[in-house]
Structure 1
Amino acid sequence: MTTVALTISALTVPKSLDDVDGADFRAYGDLNRQICDELVGLPDIAPDAAQLLAGWQDGTDTLHTGFVARLGDEIAGLLTIDYAQEQDAHAAEIDLMVPERHWGRGIEDALLDLAETETRAHGRSLIQTWTLHRPVEAERMIVPRTGWGRIPAIPLSDVLEARGYEFEQVERNSEFDLHSDPAPLRAALEAAQTAAGPDYRVLQWLAPTPPEHREGFAAILARLSTDAPSGEMDFVAEVWDAERVVRREKRLTGAGQALSVVAVQHVPSGDLVAYNELLIASDRTGVTHQLGTLVSSAHRGHRLGALVKCANLLHWRELMPLSPVVSTFNAEENRPMLGINEAIGFTAVSYAGAWQKRI
């Protein structure tokens, strides 16, 4: 019986998906969606190859690298490793993609070995990754170090545990039905506006961010890396300025996506102190993704989270009437934000586990 050897090669980043060397990157996008479908039945929570490409072509803020595992000519797995480019960054973020039909053949171990080798070679001492889980009860449920939430064990989480990864946090993936009765949203928005009072003003735009708001938006985006609940996950404080806002929006909208931002400005200071973002692919009938939502710590307690969420959702219903749902991820310990979501109709559809390992 002939044994097919496993080979691993670097993922080529093409100038265009239509180029001769674009096949592996197209396969990466397809495999990413396949894995999400196999794990939780939600392929649309993964971006496709066209959405991914712009980010991979610009390594200014995050360097993206990838490796393709093959059995013969067949792609049997893929590993991506991302490196934040802040000067004091010491972590690498990995995504391991091995389809069900190839699991248990040593591919996942070979790719994880490579992840550690590459991480060390890039001068990083920490590996971080996320696993996806269905919202079900299983024979073995695992609890993160935060103590908030629990998820069913899966083969990948078993492998990570065996290799010394710490299970740090659970994130809830929730969906909002964009075709539901808007009355609860309108009532929640009115209540939030009343609670916020005249010191807070709502601003709204479609990317690109207007030049007069770029510095302020950069400042609130920077807070997401430090203010959002992250358990013991070791994240570097991100450095933002107006130019980084421009770069980010070019990456996010480079394949025809639309990005809506609702922000709250603190009138006395002029600072942007809260924001919410909604993103959809060029296919306007697809799932909408909620990206960041944050209220600056000094301005919490004024219902600003509900204000930006409800205002953006109501506006989005008009902008994108064919999109069926909004998908979002929130830390299980982030009860204020989850409370808002639950009150306006978000429901849990899957969970993510956050893991890290010091090497």
Structure 2
Amino acid sequence: MTISLPAGATLHPLELPARTDAGPSPLIREYAAVRNAVILEETGRDDDAQTPEELLPMLRGDADTTRRQWYIEIDGAVAGCVPLTILNDDGAATAMGTIALLKKHWGQGIGTAALRFVVHHARDAGVNKLLCWNEHRTDDADGTLASPTGFGSVPNDHSARFLQRHGFRLEQVERASELVWDDATGTHLEQLRDAARAHAEGYRVVQWTLPTPEQHLEGYAWMKSRMSTDVPDAELGMPTEVWDADRVRRHDARYAARGSRVQVTAAEHIATGELCAFNELAIVGADDAKTDQEDTLVLSQHRGHRLGMLVKTAGLLSWRERYPRSSRVVTYNAEENRPMLDINEAIGFTPVAYEGAWRKDLS
């Protein structure tokens, strides 16, 4: 179905190859190129760029998410990407979506019309809450917007003004931080790890690379489920995620399909065998690509033993042995998540960008 938009633009569903083992079509390649170009225009960085081969597996839904994508076409060429991901937990009432339009087409009502379509589609699917995350820049900002949490702010730039005009409200500010390896980083991390280990009596570090070993499936699933309940999300209202061994297997398969290599570093309570803290590091593409530090969590009943510092430093040190050519590690944290920010700052992470987490309620 083709949807007419202003300024001669049209909106089309993005057709994926029928076979899951098929490579990207020419349309998928063009879609990926425009997606990456928009990210570079809006952030000035290409940290989140993906090749068509990396992106294609992430466009498919599964038991955990329902994914839909459309593309904006102008004069026969892809000019924008319109993804919508419905989270199937808690009755599929929450979705994440965005309008990624090349800057040269701004100001013509195209984004507004595309967003109106997405909101209508999401509402018809039973969604009552639409979330999005946008990195904001100072280039064209009209002042700043303070987070309602009391922690952090973002520039009131073009994207922020667009979202506010269309009924989104800022709920949280997230910090993107970067660790750049130098000659002193390894020694510094060893000192931090050893100090943390001295406070973590009764715990030991266990590590694996995906796919998750059978003996860790249930413990890893429980910790992943707590990411949706124990990590600050302000008033975003993220649904509570239910994880089991099968969901972990699906999670691992998605990473493998896009060519990601993932290391999990966990803390195990020796007396009970319970996994009680974990950290994930991932790389996709070449071995000299940047590393993503993804989920990190310490279960609430095991806090106060420096397990967060232990799993992060132990993970980074072993990761460096695996991927010595990856010179940068990037991570995201809510500005009010001071315990994790304290650890990151002590390790040597420094801020590189800020993004707003936005919510629109669909009545």
Q: TM-score, normalised on structure 1?
A: 0.94
Out of 32, 36, 40, the position equivalent to 1:37 is 40
Quick one: distance in 2 between partners of 1:233 and 1:87? 14
Stretch deviating more after TM superposition (37-46 or 105-114) = 37-46
Q: Tell me which residue corresponds to 2:342.
A: 339
Out of 62, 73, 80, the position equivalent to 2:83 is 80
**Secondary structure, aligned partner of 1:248:** helix
**Secondary structure, aligned partner of 1:43:** coil
Q: How many angstroms does 1:58 deviate by?
A: 4.2
**Secondary structure, aligned partner of 2:238:** coil
**Secondary structure, aligned partner of 2:99:** strand
**CA offsets 1:4-26 (integer angstroms, 9 cap, x no match):** 6211010112246975x722322
Quick one: distance in 2 between partners of 1:314 and 1:286? 17
Out of 150, 154, 160, the position equivalent to 1:151 is 154
Q: Could you tell me which runs of 5 or more consecutive residues in structure 1 were left unpaired when the two chains were aligned.
A: none
Establish whether residue 186 from structure 1 lines up as the match of residue 190 from structure 2: yes
Q: Tell me which residue corresponds to 1:326.
A: 329
Q: Structure 2: which amino acid aligns with 1:284?
A: D
Q: Tell me which residue corresponds to 1:90.
A: 93
Out of 266, 270, 273, the position equivalent to 2:276 is 273
How is 1:204-283 mapped onto 2 (pairs within 5 angstroms)?
204-283=207-286
Quick one: distance in 1 between partners of 2:356 and 2:319? 29
Kept in 2: contact 1:4–1:72 (CA 8 A): no
Note closer, same or farther for the CA distance 1:80–1:137 as it changes in structure 2 (3 Å cut): closer
Q: Structure 1: which amino acid aligns with 2:352?
A: V
Q: How many angstroms does 1:256 deviate by?
A: 2.4
Q: Structure 2: which amino acid aligns with 1:256?
A: G
Quick one: distance in 1 between partners of 2:287 and 2:328? 11
Alignment coverage as a number of residue pairs: 355
Q: Tell me which residue corresponds to 1:11.
A: 14
Kept in 1: contact 2:141–2:157 (CA 8 A): no
Q: Structure 2: which amino acid aligns with 1:270?
A: G
Kept in 1: contact 2:267–2:277 (CA 8 A): yes
How is 1:302-317 mapped onto 2 (pairs within 5 angstroms)?
302-317=305-320
Q: How many angstroms does 1:49 deviate by?
A: 2.7
Quick one: distance in 1 between partners of 2:140 and 2:108? 27
Quick one: distance in 2 between partners of 1:56 and 1:136? 31
Note closer, same or farther for the CA distance 1:17–1:132 as it changes in structure 2 (3 Å cut): farther
Q: How many angstroms does 1:141 deviate by?
A: 0.7
Kept in 1: contact 2:175–2:333 (CA 8 A): yes
**CA offsets 1:278-304 (integer angstroms, 9 cap, x no match):** 110131111111111111111111111
Kept in 1: contact 2:101–2:111 (CA 8 A): yes
Out of 352, 356, 360, the position equivalent to 1:349 is 352
Q: Structure 1: which amino acid aligns with 2:252?
A: E
Q: How many angstroms does 1:171 deviate by?
A: 0.3
Q: How many angstroms does 1:176 deviate by?
A: 0.7
Kept in 1: contact 2:90–2:239 (CA 8 A): no
Q: Which runs of 4+ in 1 moved over 3 A?
A: 15-19, 134-139
Q: How many angstroms does 1:344 deviate by?
A: 0.9
Out of 117, 120, 128, the position equivalent to 2:120 is 117
Quick one: distance in 2 between partners of 1:142 and 1:345? 27
Q: Structure 1: which amino acid aligns with 2:89?
A: E
Quick one: distance in 1 between partners of 2:295 and 2:244? 17
**Secondary structure, aligned partner of 1:204:** strand
Quick one: distance in 1 between partners of 2:160 and 2:227? 27
Kept in 1: contact 2:174–2:335 (CA 8 A): yes
Q: How many angstroms does 1:55 deviate by?
A: 3.1
Q: CA RMSD in A?
A: 1.9
Q: Tell me which residue corresponds to 1:105.
A: 108
**CA offsets 1:90-118 (integer angstroms, 9 cap, x no match):** 11100221121111121210111011111
Identical counterparts, % of pairs = 38
Note closer, same or farther for the CA distance 1:200–1:135 as it changes in structure 2 (3 Å cut): farther
Kept in 2: contact 1:135–1:350 (CA 8 A): no
